[in-house]
Chain A
Amino acid sequence: MPIYNLSINGKSITTSNIESDTPLLWLLRDELNMAGTKYGCGKGLCGACTVHMNGNPIRSCQIPVAALGEQNITTIEGIASDNKLHPIQQAWHDLDVAQCGYCQAGQIMSAVALLKETPKPTDEQIEQSMAGNICRCGTYVRIKQAIKLAAGIEDNTAKKMDYSLAKEVK
């Protein structure tokens, strides 16, 4: 089997034990034991597997390992820096966005990419950028609020928690 040199979350990874058509999703989950990126549909329809390639959101279930080259891949495990949550992660945490939580890694990756491109998105820009991510539990109201919170856009419908467990990130 061919050898692939990959860059994932800033680390160089060499893999020699994987079929060339294996989607990035399954390389991450089964081979590298990075389970944050989720399988939802396998067809690029639900966005649960969203990661970044050079900062742009992609559906990792649709990209075979052979097509990755030396592009920089970032996953949900790699967006916090210096032991500090990304502002999007912090907003998700602070507004208690998740219900079951399964889709949220993909939602967060789409939202991070949106704010990188458009630091102050309009409601419509948020809706269009997030339209590829399904939340079966229906947390879209809070997802939108969290994106605005992270972007510093006022939204008086958002409600902060009275207490959060583990709110301080050391």
Chain B
Amino acid sequence: MELVNVNRRSFLKMTGIATGGLILGWHVPKFAIAATLENPKALNAFLQITPDSQVMIYSPNPEIGQGVKTSMPMIVAEELDADWEMVTVRQAPIDPIFGRQSAGGSRSINTNWDNLRNAGGSAKHMLLQAAAEQWAVNANECRAKLGYIIHNPSGKKLSYGSLVERAANQNVPAPSDLTLKSFDEFTLLGKRIGGVDNLAIVTGQPLFGIDQHKEAMSYATFVKSPAYGAKPKKANLDEIKKLPGIKDAFIVKGAKTPRQLAHGIAIVATSTWAAFKAEKALVIEWDNSNAASDTYSEMKAQAEKLALKASSNQKLLNKGDAVTGLKNAAKTVSSVYSYPYIAHTPLEPMNCTAQWQDGKIEIWAPVQLPQPAIGLVSRITNVDPADITLHQTRVGGGFGRRLANDYVMEAVAIAQHVKGPVKYTSTRESDTGHDFYRPSAFFTFNGGVDEQGKITAWQEHFITMGGNKKANGPAGRRTTVFPAPLINNFELSQSIIKSKMPIFALRAPQSNGLAFPIQSFLHELSTLAGRDHLEFLLEVLGESKWLDEGNKDSLHTGRAAEVLKLAAKKSGWGKKLEKGRGMGMAFYFCHSTPVAQVVDLSVDENKKITIHKVTIVGDAGPIVNLSGAENQCQGCVIDGLSVVMGQEITFTNGVVDQSNFHDYPLQRMPGVPEIESHFIQSNYPPTGLGEPAYPPFAPAFCNAIADATGVRLTHLPINKLGYSI
């Protein structure tokens, strides 16, 4: 927990000038380890060094479980040649000096890579200059190692702490003057490094947004309409205000969209429990005139009808001649796939603490996009962004839910009516019923193979829910998804089922849905051709090249082939399996990282599935934190398992039918398999894993079931078909 917040002004003041007193990184009462930094000096915005050689590194981006609070400072420490044992990490304040401070798109590492390396390298350069000055030698006779500058000819050494005063007076080098390490010189990156908050987590220290505690704080909750987008007309507020512990209850007028600020009723109380209890006593009359009235079963029936057609007039991609390709095929196969709406459900419910006083707003929030949160609050309140301070807390899960800042604005809207700070906590039921969901889609595929077992045509009718004229964002279907760019006769058309139900990005947007039908149907084609899926995939990938030459965020077929081959090798692909056992393979590429997965499982006659092992191979360039990378891979597989086995959001007349973990289940420990992760550390700048490792699980899993049983699963979730784990 940050006790002292260093804002930009004090930063500038601190640069090169000793600051007296203590700066507390995080407070662990019984287990105080390096929690005090005395007289630190800033060598740049990212790092400070104390005279006793402790190094404090700011982690700029939100920590949502993806591990950046550890991995981003590691990159700084690597180029600084710091001793990691001497490093303390703090969450950075929100400041343009840190660039775009966000958690989304698996981009924290790749977009900050150069900046973080330069921050470490620049400080090291200044320390080298300082040592050379002190010894009156040439700086190129010196080297840095584990917190010391060493004079090579004499072997003399000086600690970073002893040099920091002099280093702070050196010129800051231009990034072009820095010699950064080659990847094979890394000594810290690629190691397994424990999370910097681990001790605080295991001892229950307050870290998260929901843990914020302020003097004289009120507690609140916010009640939104059952049907998405309705307005409260009237409510029994006078009765509610008389309930024990209730300080106030009032109607909050929403903004233009519920993603900015929903209409609703705020209850302010002396405790969260009092507010939650009062919510149950609320009687509200809603104005549903602008609310959603969609019913999922009706939309599904409409989708099923549309899915009878192989194509629509709205073509997204039309390469070659798929219709003729199908006619000329030796064999053809046709399938309809679907997946449902799903919710994000991070375990820390939506919450935010805010104080609105004397025209200034102070916010403590677990968010993925803190800078846009300030922008949203400013736009809606007309308070100047300079008068809005947002403190980032650790985030109890993001998964894309916290890319929307609706709950921040809700807290601010409540705080306007409250004297002193107020902590707003949403109930689990409200979170489940008022999410911005991953939309459902249906797919009709027709594909063919020739006598040699090569694909002759791919015809796909994509039926998406939740878009309007165009299906953008999470409801869209990118035309670059493998294998579309590599198939000559490819026709992709789209139909849109309009809906007012709210949709938004969820971990690996689009890809989280698209991977299952597309990579499953690709397996149907290799099965139709009677070919091994690995060999078939490698043939489709063809020669090694970038699909978009010069664009390192495009698919490189050679890197794809390598992850597939290694996954096959590590999983024992091709081995003879007993009856009822099967292996499934899938490849997916998104967020610049190619990933292959192989699932090895058995299915018994009661459709009970036992997963023996999941093998996952990614090429994210050099791995920053091996422990974090493995964690992300395990998490992606288990998240995928939840989705495949039992998650489905449905709605009736605009009201979501699910409310809590009994009807929206998450995977629990029983049934969780062994998960083995491998990384091809190719010599490209590092990319993320928190999203790319997620999409391939569902198709690899269902391909394995097809291999084990001959049954092709085409609709998620599969518990609806009687499967269990």
A contact residues vs B (CB 8 Å cutoff): 18-19, 21-23, 26, 29-31, 33-43, 45-46, 48, 75-77, 80, 83, 85, 89-90, 92-94, 96, 98-105, 108, 126-128, 130-144, 157, 159-170
Given that A102-B396, A140-B669 are contacting pairs, would A165 and B89 also be in contact in the complex, using a CB cutoff of 8 Å? yes
Is the C-beta of B425 less than 8 angstroms from some C-beta in chain A? yes
Q: Does B91 contact A (CB under 8 A)?
A: no
Which one, B328-336, B477-485, B582-590, B633-641, is touching chain A? B633-641
Contact present for B194 and A35 (CB under 8 Å): no
> Looking at A19, A21, A159, which has the most chain B CB atoms within 10 Å of its CB?
A19
Query: What 4 additional pairs, Cβ within 8 angstroms, besides A42-B427, A42-B660, A141-B634?
Result: A29-B272, A40-B348, A90-B202, A105-B201
Whether B204 contacts A36 by the Cβ 8 Å rule is yes
B192:A89 contact, CB within 8 angstroms: no
Which of chain B's residues have a CB closer than 8 A to the CB of A166?
31, 33-34, 196, 198-199
Question: Nearest chain B CB to A55's CB is how many angstroms away?
Answer: 18
Known: A19-B245, A140-B638. A33 touches B33 (CB 8 A): no
Cβ-defined contact, A100 with B346, below 8 A: yes
| A136 adjacent to B203 (CB under 8 Å) | no
Nearest-Cβ distance from residue B143 to partner chain A, whole angstroms: 21
Given A93-B198, A138-B636, A141-B634, check contact A38 B210 (CB 8 Å). yes
Interface pair B666/A165, CB less than 8 Å apart:
no
Q: Residues of A contacting B33 with CB < 8 Å?
A: 166, 168-170
Minimum CB–CB distance for B69 against chain A, Å: 10
| Chain B residues with a Cβ closer than 8 Å to the other chain, count | 82
Q: Contact check, A41 vs B273: say whether CB atoms are below 8 A apart.
A: no
B207 nearest in chain A by CB position: A101
Q: How near does chain B come to A142, taking the closest CB pair, in angstroms?
A: 7
Residue from A30, A103, A138, A160 within 8 A of B634 (CB atoms): A138
Q: Is the CB of A105 within 8 A of B273?
A: no
Check B211 for interface membership: any CB of A closer than 8 A: yes
Q: Are B669 and A93 in contact (CB under 8 A)?
A: no
Contact with A along B42-64 (1 / 0, CB 8 A): 00000000000000000000011
Kindly state the separation between the CA atoms of A92 and B197 in the bound complex, as whole angstroms: 12
Give B374-408 as 1s and 0s: 1 = Cβ < 8 Å from A's Cβ atoms: 00000000000000000000111111000000000
**Are the CB atoms of A136 and B670 closer together than 8 Å?**
no
B569 an interface residue at 8 Å Cβ cutoff? no
B4 neighbours in A (Cβ, 8 Å) = none
Closest CB in chain A relative to B395 CB, distance in Å: 7
Q: Distance in Å from the Cβ of B485 to the closest Cβ of chain A?
A: 31
A94 to B196, CA, bound (A): 12
**When A30-B272, A83-B30 are in contact, do A46 and B347 touch as well, CB less than 8 Å?**
yes
Task: State whether A163 and B32 are in contact (beta carbons under 8 Å apart), knowing that A85-B203, A93-B202, A99-B631 are contacts in the complex.
Answer: no
Which chain B residue lies CB-closest to A104?
Answer: B201
Separation of A19 and B636 alpha carbons in the complex (Å): 42
Q: Across the interface, do A93 and B199 meet the contact criterion of CB distance under 8 Å?
A: yes
A-B contact count (CB 8 A): 237
A48 to B32 Cα, complex, angstroms: 26
Which residues of B195-217 are within 8 A (CB) of A?
Answer: 195-199, 201-208, 210-211, 213
What is the distance, in angstroms, from A87's C-beta to the closest C-beta of chain B?
11
> Which of B203, B206, B630, B666 sits near A80, CB closer than 8 Å?
B203
Contact of B667 with A by CB under 8 A: yes
Structural contact, A163 and B65, CB atoms closer than 8 A: no
Q: Could you show 19 A-B contacts with beta carbons less than 8 Å apart?
A: A36-B203, A40-B348, A75-B204, A83-B31, A90-B202, A96-B194, A98-B202, A99-B635, A100-B395, A101-B65, A101-B396, A138-B634, A138-B672, A141-B675, A161-B194, A163-B193, A163-B194, A165-B193, A166-B31
B65: contacting residue among A37, A75, A92, A99, CB under 8 A: A99
Cβ distance A84 to chain B, nearest Cβ, rounded Å: 9
Cα(A18)–Cα(B208), bound, Å: 25
Residue of B nearest to A99 (CB): B65
Cα separation A104 to B394 with both chains bound (whole Å): 14
Chain B residues with CB below 8 A from A140, complex form: 638, 667-669, 672
Among B31, B193, B245, chain A packs the most CB atoms within 10 A around the CB of B31
B671, closest chain A residue (CB): A127
B204 contacts A37, C-beta separation under 8 Å: yes
Flag whether B661 is at the interface (Cβ < 8 A).
Answer: yes
* Most chain B CB within a 10 A radius of its CB, from A90, A93, A157, A160: A93
In contact, B202 and A104 (Cβ under 8 angstroms): yes
Q: Which residue from chain B places its CB closest to the CB of A101 in the assembled complex?
A: B201
**A168 contacts across to B, CB distance below 8 A:** 33
Is there contact, CB below 8 Å, between B208 and A102?
Answer: yes
In the complex, which residues of chain A have a beta carbon less than 8 angstroms from the beta carbon of B70? 165
Q: For residue A98, which residues in chain B have a CB less than 8 angstroms away from its CB?
A: 65, 195, 197-198, 201-202
What's the nearest-Cβ distance from chain A to residue B674, in Å? 7
Chain B residues with CB under 8 A of A164:
193-194, 198
User: A142 — which chain B residues lie within 8 A by C-beta?
Assistant: 631, 634
Instruction: Scan residues 670-685 of chain B and give those whose CB is less than 8 A from a CB of chain A.
Output: 670, 672, 674-675
Which chain A residue lies CB-closest to B208?
A102
Q: Does B326 contact A (CB under 8 A)?
A: no
Residues of B within 8 A of A139 (CB): 631, 634-635
The interface residues of chain A lying within 8 Å CB-to-CB of B206 are: 35-36
Q: A80-B203, A127-B670 are in contact. Are A96 and B195 (CB under 8 A)?
A: yes
Q: A102 to chain B: which residues have CB within 8 Å?
A: 208, 346-348, 396-397
- What's the Cα separation between A39 and B634 when bound, in Å? 24
B36 interface contact, C-beta 8 A:
no
Give the distance to chain A from B234, nearest Cβ to Cβ, in Å: 27
Query: Known contacts A102-B347, A104-B201; is A30 also within 8 Å of B666 by CB?
Result: no
Task: Give the distance to chain A from B455, nearest Cβ to Cβ, in Å.
Answer: 34
Which of A34, A93, A138 has most chain B Cβ within 10 Å? Answer: A138
Q: Chain A residues with Cβ under 8 A from B188's Cβ?
A: 163
Known contacts A96-B198, A101-B207; A30 and B396 CB within 8 A of each other = no
Write out the residue numbers on chain A whose beta carbons fall within 8 Å of the beta carbon of B627: 96, 159, 161
Q: What residues on B are CB-neighbors of A30 within 8 Å?
A: 219, 271-273
Tell whether, in the assembled complex, residue B672 and residue A23 are in contact, meaning their CB atoms are under 8 Å apart: no
- A40 shortest CB reach to chain B, Å: 5
Measured between beta carbons, the chain B residues less than 8 angstroms from A36 are 203-206
Q: Are B348 and A38 in contact (CB under 8 A)?
A: yes
